[in-house]
Amino acid sequence: MAKAFKYGLKGITGFLEPAERELLRSLFDDVISMLEPEDRGNQDPLAAMIGLDMDVKEPSDRALRRLLPNVVKDDGAASLEFRQLTERSLRESKIGALRAAALELDKDELVLTAADARHWSTALNDVRLVLAERLDIRDEADADHVHQMQDWSQAEDVESYLALVYNFTTWLQESLVQAMLQSLETRP
Amino acid sequence: MTLSVALGPDTQESTQTGTAESTDALTAPDIPWNLVIWNDPVNLMSYVSFVFQSYFGYSESKANKLMMEVHKKGRSIVAHGSKEQVEQHAVAMHGFGLWATVEKATGGNSGGGKNGGPGKGRGKRG
């Protein structure tokens, strides 16, 4: 069984079983592949280098739209203009955090610096946002319903399995954030 | 064949006499904009408070107050500034996975929300 993250002298530490590490690795990889921009051969390399993407569109996938939301409510044109300037680098920073978190999974015991912890918390959060869309969590009542699912012996279909995975990542993120909040309190 | 005749800055002098400055002044960078955070059933309350504390440098009580406002009212204005400033915050919030939008401040700088017209008196903020 995984152990909750703790804040102590070594920084933020945690422990995950091999099967849990494999699960997280595949979740991080899934979200990375969702976020990787499609390779467009005719892309202007200079524009790509400085993060511009003039051909960008609002994502059609709901989960991806939650990860890369419109910046102006009810204004598609203004949001699209903003996307052209920022979406590529937002995707890259999210992928960077997910990759950094995945790298930490190579060790049995997790010992996280403040920067590692930040990568982990955003990576876990992005995983949870994607799982929540797949589970159709629209409001607090849906979230409560999914939260009821705690017993792995009940996992009989994809949805119940996803719900258990969602609850595991929620628990893990909550313990990490509590440790991070503690580290904020004791900062000089 | 053509001979490249590059114009140096000195040869362009006469075409640019002080017009650039006067047009820039019209974009008024100090029109206030709001950064709005929206509620969703996924983000942990502790995480949202952590983001407000660590990114904006807000105190624990201010961060928690704004977080509860998001949770109970569905949205909260968590920062003000120029358009560029709040857009930069919005990208950072999207990086954290929070649902953030920007909007022009209405009804002065009290930040009562989009539909809060004058006289509604919802100027409370953390």
Q: Do A181 and B101 touch (CB under 8 A)?
A: no
- Residue B53: list chain A partners with CB under 8 A: 181, 184
Q: Do B46 and A90 touch (CB under 8 A)?
A: no
pLDDT of residue A129: 98
Domains in chain B, CATH or no CATH each: 29-104 (3.30.1390.10)
Does A71 reach chain B within 8 Å, measured CB to CB? yes
**What is d(CA A105, CA A21) in angstroms, rounded to the nearest whole number?**
6
pLDDT at B122 over 60: no
- Residue A93: list chain B partners with CB under 8 A: 95
Question: Which of A86, A98, A108 lies closest to A129 in space, CA to CA?
Answer: A98
Interhelix angle A158-185/A18-35, nearest 10 degrees: 90
| Residue in B43, B94, B99 to test binding to A, most A beta-carbons within 10 Å | B94
pLDDT, greater one: A155 or B7: A155
pLDDT of residue A124: 98
Does B99 reach chain A within 8 Å, measured CB to CB? yes
Question: Which of A45, A39, A51, A43 lies closest to A92 in space, CA to CA?
Answer: A51
**pLDDT for B67-111, tens place per residue?**
999 999 999 999 999 999 999 999 999 999 999 999 999 854 444
Q: What are the structural domain ranges in chain A?
A: 3-37+93-185
What is the helix (H) or strand (E) element at residue A161, kind and residue range? helix A158-185
**DSSP type of residue A3:** E
**pLDDT for B11-44, tens place per residue?**
444 444 444 444 444 455 567 999 999 999 999 9
Q: What is the largest CA-CA distance in chain B?
A: 72
Residue pair B114/B101 in contact by the 8 Å Cβ criterion: no
**What is d(CA A52, CA A84) in angstroms, rounded to the nearest whole number?**
6
Nearest to B102 among A71, A93, A118 (CB): A71
Single-letter residue type at B5: V
pLDDT of residue B28: 54
Tell me how crowded residue A188 is: count the other CB atoms within 10 A of its CB. 2
pLDDT category at B8 given cuts 50, 70, 90 is very low
**What is d(CA A184, CA A106) in angstroms, rounded to the nearest whole number?**
27
Exposure string for A24-38, b = 16+ CB within 10 A, e = fewer = beebbeebbebbeee
- Beta bridge partners of residue B81, listed in sequence order: B33
pLDDT of residue A188: 56
Question: Which of B70, B54, B53, B71 lies closest to B62 in space, CA to CA?
Answer: B53
pLDDT tens-digit profile, chain A (188 residues): 789 999 999 999 999 999 999 999 999 999 999 999 766 666 677 777 777 777 888 999 999 999 999 999 999 999 999 999 999 999 999 999 999 999 999 887 899 999 999 999 999 999 999 999 999 999 999 999 898 888 888 788 898 999 999 999 999 999 999 999 999 987 65
CB neighbour list of residue A69: distance below 8 Å, 6 or more residues apart: B94, B99, B100, B101
Question: Which of A153, A154, A156, A133 lies closest to A143 in space, CA to CA?
Answer: A133
**How remote is the C-alpha of B7 from its chain's centroid?**
40
Q: What is the ipTM of this complex?
A: 0.92
CB neighbour list of residue A1: distance below 8 Å, 6 or more residues apart: A17
**What is d(CA B104, CA B33) in angstroms, rounded to the nearest whole number?**
4
pLDDT of residue B123: 37
Enter the tokens of residue B9: 């800055």
Radius of gyration of chain B, Cα coordinates, nearest whole angstrom: 22
Residue of B nearest to A133 (CA): B42
- Beta bridge partners of residue A15, listed in sequence order: A3, A109
Nearest to A181 among B40, B42, B46 (CB): B46
User: Rounded to 10 degrees, what is the CA torsion of B40, B44, B46, B47?
Assistant: -90
Does B100 reach chain A within 8 Å, measured CB to CB? yes
